[in-house]
């Protein structure tokens, strides 16, 4: 599943572009790259999941668990972001927040590397 790890690394690249932005247009380009990469990642992952999940009445339950995993990040990130933003005592250290996002994107890429193929 080269699409999975390449899209997670492209997410990291987009976030690095956003971190290093000195002007708003560069920041928006970085966020656009990261957003497109996330769209590619999610579509590739859902396609892979439909191939590897057991067929039958249980497959919907497993896809629901996957959907929950996407929502879990949306719940945890606001909680985790508060201490990240406070690094340095300024209260708005967005660089630390984006660096953490890059680290998570790279870790996500490493997690899908062992997947060689689906059925």
When divided into structural domains, the chain yields a total of: 1
For residues 84-111, average pLDDT: 80
Identify the burial level of 5 via C-beta atoms within 10 angstroms of its C-beta, where 0-12 means exposed, 13-18 middle and 19 or more buried: buried
Higher pLDDT, 1 or 115: 115
Assigned domain for 119 exists: no
First-to-last alpha carbon distance for the chain, in angstroms, is: 12
CB neighbour list of residue 62: distance below 8 Å, 6 or more residues apart: 49, 53, 54
What is the residue-averaged pLDDT of the chain?
Answer: 81
pLDDT at 52 over 80: no
| pLDDT per position as a tens digit, 72-91 | 777 888 888 888 888 877 66
Assigned domain for 117 exists: no
CB neighbour list of residue 117: distance below 8 Å, 6 or more residues apart: 1
Rounded to an integer, what distance in angstroms lies between the CA atom of residue 12 and that of residue 38?
A: 10
Rounded to an integer, what distance in angstroms lies between the CA atom of residue 46 and that of residue 42?
A: 6
| pLDDT per position as a tens digit, 17-50 | 998 999 999 999 999 999 999 888 888 877 877 7
pLDDT at 5 over 60: yes
Domain of residue 11, residue span: 2-112
């Amino acid at each position: 599943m080269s699409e999975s790890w390449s899209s997670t690394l492209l997410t990291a690249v987009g976030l690095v572009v956003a971190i290093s932005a000195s002007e708003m247009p560069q920041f928006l380009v970085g966020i656009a790259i990261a957003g497109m990469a996330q769209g590619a990642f999610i579509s590739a992952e859902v396609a892979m999941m439909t191939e590897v999940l057991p067929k039958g009445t249980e497959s919907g339950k497993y896809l629901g668990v996957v959907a929950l995993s996407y929502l879990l990040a949306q719940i945890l990130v606001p909680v985790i972001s508060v201490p990240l933003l406070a690094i340095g005592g300024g209260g708005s250290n967005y660089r630390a927040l984006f660096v953490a996002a890059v680290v998570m994107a790279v870790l996500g890429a490493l997690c899908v590397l062992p997947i060689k193929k689906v059925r």
